[in-house]
Amino acid sequence: MDKIETNKSFCVELMKMLNDFRKDGLFCDVRISVGSCLFEAHRNVLAANSPYFRALLSNDMKEGHENLVKLDELSAKVVESILDFMYSGKININKDIALDLLVAADYLLMPELKEKGCQFLVKKMTASNCLTVLNVSKKYNFVQLHKKALAFAQENFHVVCRKENFKDLSAAQLEEIISGNNLVAKEKDVFESLIEWVNYDLCERNRLFHELFSHVRLIQLPRKYLVLVVEENDLVRRSEICQQYIARAKQYFAAPEKFAQIDLQVCRPRVCQQAVLTTGGLQSEQGYKVSAGSSLFIPASGKCTQVFPMLTPRKNHGIAVHEGMVYVVGGETNDVTALCSVELYDPKANSWSSVMSMRKEAAGLGLAVLGDYLYAVGGCDIDGSPQDIVQRYNPQQNRWQYVAKMSFARTRHSVVAANGFLFAFGGYGTEDYLPLKTAEMYNPEDDMWINISPMKRRRSDMSSVCVNHMIYIIGGEDILDNVMKLDFCEIYIPSTDTWSLITTLPSPLSHSGIAAVGKKIYLFGGLNIESKELDLILCYDIEATTWQAVGCLPVAIEGGACCTINLPGELMDSLF
């Protein structure tokens, strides 16, 4: 016997006919009562779409015997839309019924319709409705929708906090929003919105103030604002606990290094208060001149903003952060092939100043912080010769000294600090004019370098960064018959002295700046396969193991250096 299949339109036409029957009241065997409205339908269609109806109509319950289901908790418009969906698989959702439809779909155990409702609300989320969605999603335990609404409220806090319904939030809802590390806001806005919320119902909310105040990241406020505005606020002055928070913040400002290892909410920046500082590099748009320019990229907003330039143009220089200050070391300019000068960037003042120069000039060096010291590792001298020297800087004494030399002379290599050690990878050595594959580790206690497992691929001019005790080596270049850009990426795990591969770059890349924020790695500019400068900002999501473009630098650049900094309140106020 041959099996003859009908086309897909057979089922569509059949359901359309049944829906016409429903609307005309033909062959219907059940009624749905909604207030004063009555809808007729077919039991088998309701049962096939909804486990709620299936249980209600098949068990020994009066609804099954009387062929009448009362849904007075739903609106007539929502029930009509649901019936249309049951018979056609299609539904027109608008903002007037979206929330009620979602609640009804959940009540009737219709996951597909529930998902469509969630998708609509996420797509149509605004600053005006996100708090309502947040409230409903929490009440009915719509977990994913709640996450989306919370994220939207946090990402658009500067607008959301000015909406009238912001004052109607419960204390728990407000706490959920302002306590999050992903809140995108100036801390001044967080404090001022909290004060407005409390004053809206002062008698009831005054007792809740100190708990909510604990979520204001006081060290991210401008110090002047903290003293003149926050500390003098009546609500703050009347609370002994709040006064203790203020005192703690002042202690941090006086000696931030003492708080570095303490896990306090007051010391923890939000994601929006973390940025990548990019410095120097070669800009083709300026006639291939080395730049002194500096800019900030804020991953939370995707914005890139120029800040005060360095004192000296540089490329192929080292960069590192120590106790909130950024140090830029060595490099080269248009006229000098290797520099020994060093300068310091203070994010609070948005200014650069000179500090003690290195003992020996170096370009293409690596710079990293280990304990209380900065280490300038290798690089080439003014004659272009790779060096094996390591120079250590003491910020407190403003003094450089030599420590143990590397096993290999290296330039245009990578240097990373991890797990209390320094690591040096690849670069160019003194022989064959070919990149190195070797790697080595420095133990500051023994003042000694030892060889470790080599990289899977030799390379120079790569980008490297440490995240969660693992060292990521990205791109770079090798030489076969000619210079070859690489898309090859690998991870070194210090605890096991092993290497593993990760997702390759979307296209080969070298000479890029690199920095990590949270569980994401960012690449800035560089040279593509045609050795052309790029303005591209790439992001590697460590959890998703994927690369994507997330923005552009103000200009195309190669040979720049980057680091992650916490944005102080003074800089946030002056730039945004």
CA of residue 337 relative to chain centroid, distance: 37
Residues 400 and 423 in one domain: yes
Residues 292 and 406 in one domain: yes
Q: What are phi and psi of 562, to 5 degrees?
A: -130, 155
pLDDT for the residue 504: 97
The upper half-sphere exposure of residue 139, i.e. CA atoms within 13 Å in the direction of its Cβ, equals 12
Asked if 493 contacts 516 with a C-beta cutoff of 8 angstroms, the reply is: no
Residue 138 covered by a domain:
no
Going across the sheet that includes 318-322, the strands are 318-322, 325-329, 342-346, 351-355
Instruction: Quote the CA–CA distance of 53 and 63 in Å, as a whole number.
Output: 10
pLDDT for the residue 61: 64
Please write down the HEC assignment for all residues of 100-122. Answer: HHHHHHHHCCCHHHHHHHHHHHH
Q: What is the residue whose two structure tokens read 């995108």?
A: 184
pLDDT for the residue 64: 55
Q: What is the residue whose two structure tokens read 């007051």?
A: 266
**Residue 530 backbone zone (phi > 0: left; psi -120 to 50: alpha; other: beta):** alpha
Query: Which of 210, 245, 267 represents a domain boundary (last residue)?
Result: 267
Q: What are phi and psi of 131, to 5 degrees?
A: -70, -35
Asked if 98 contacts 121 with a C-beta cutoff of 8 angstroms, the reply is: yes
Residues 436 and 563 in one domain: yes
- The CATH number that applies at residue 93 is 3.30.710.10
pLDDT for the residue 571: 80
Residues 170 and 98 in one domain: no
Q: Encoding tokens for residue 361?
A: 């000039």
Residue 132 covered by a domain:
no
Domain of residue 552, residue span: 271-575
Question: Would you write out the chain's pLDDT as a tens digit for each of its 576 residues?
Answer: 555 555 667 777 777 777 777 777 787 888 888 888 888 888 888 888 889 888 888 766 665 556 788 888 888 899 898 988 888 888 888 888 888 999 999 988 988 989 998 999 999 999 999 999 999 899 888 899 999 999 999 989 999 999 999 999 999 999 999 998 889 888 999 999 999 999 999 999 999 999 999 999 998 888 899 999 999 999 999 999 999 999 988 888 887 766 654 445 555 678 778 899 999 999 877 678 999 999 999 998 888 899 999 999 999 999 999 988 999 999 999 999 999 999 999 998 899 999 999 999 999 999 999 999 999 999 999 999 999 999 999 999 999 999 999 999 999 999 999 999 999 999 999 766 789 999 999 999 999 999 999 999 999 999 999 999 999 999 999 998 788 999 999 999 999 999 999 999 999 999 999 999 989 999 999 999 999 999 999 999 999 999 999 999 989 999 999 999 988 877 877 666
Residue 109 covered by a domain:
yes
Residues 387 and 421 in one domain: yes
Asked if 133 contacts 99 with a C-beta cutoff of 8 angstroms, the reply is: yes
Residue 131 covered by a domain:
no
Those residues with Cβ within 8 angstroms of residue 183's Cβ, 6 or more apart along the chain or in another chain: 154, 157, 177, 190, 270, 272
Residues 263 and 277 in one domain: no
Residues 278 and 202 in one domain: no
Supply the DSSP symbol for 69.
E
Asked if 463 contacts 513 with a C-beta cutoff of 8 angstroms, the reply is: yes
Going across the sheet that includes 498-501, the strands are 463-467, 470-474, 489-493, 498-501
Residues 313 and 230 in one domain: no
pLDDT for the residue 264: 54
Those residues with Cβ within 8 angstroms of residue 167's Cβ, 6 or more apart along the chain or in another chain: 196, 197, 200
Residues 84 and 197 in one domain: no
Residues 421 and 495 in one domain: yes
Supply the DSSP symbol for 230.
I
Domain count of the fold of the chain: 3
Residue 141 covered by a domain:
no
Residues 159 and 242 in one domain: yes
Closest CA to 539 of 467, 482, 478: 467
pLDDT for the residue 4: 52
pTM of the predicted structure, to 2 decimals: 0.77
Residues 48 and 86 in one domain: yes
